[in-house]
Amino acid sequence: MKTPNVLSTVVAIVMLALNAEAKGGENRSVSTEVSSEITTQIRQNLAFTQFNQNLMGENEVILEFSINAQQELVIESVLSENGFLARHVEKVLNGQKVYTAAEKREKTYRLKLKFI
């Protein structure tokens, strides 16, 4: 039984925040977890896109991003074996608003996303 694209995308996105990192400058690296408030907002931004996961199978994306002073996602890199998926994730997320505390901004985070 097939489910609608939006519903399958919502169900298919699993956020894994293991290996999250924040870098506070060139010489300083601080390990931290990407907060649930940030991962929830990223998941919601991806959930409402037109993307047919059923045709692509299981995929992983490693997303490196920061949140600027204007509370926008700044995508620094997207790594995936699936180039289409990497471009899609970057296009959808770059510039999206993410509302979070000031101390969580201006850091670089790494987040693994698994699409199943």
Regarding predicted confidence, which is higher, 16 or 74? 74
Per-residue model confidence (pLDDT) at position 55: 58
> Count of alpha carbons within 13 Å of 82, Cβ hemisphere only?
17
How many other C-beta atoms are found inside a 10 Å radius of the C-beta of residue 36?
Answer: 11
DSSP state of 97: B
Residue pair 67/49 in contact (Cβ under 8 Å)? The answer is no
Q: What is the DSSP letter of 55?
A: G
Residue 77 CB neighbour total at 10 angstroms: 12
Please give the helix or strand (H or E) that residue 63 lies within, else none. Answer: strand 59-67
CA dihedral 27, 21, 33, 84 (to 10 degrees): 150
Structure pTM?
0.70
Of residues 53, 36, 44, 47, the one with CA closest to residue 10 = 47
Q: What sign results for the dihedral spanned by CA atoms 59, 35, 37, 101?
A: negative
- Per residue in 20-37, pLDDT (tens digit) is 444 444 543 433 468 888
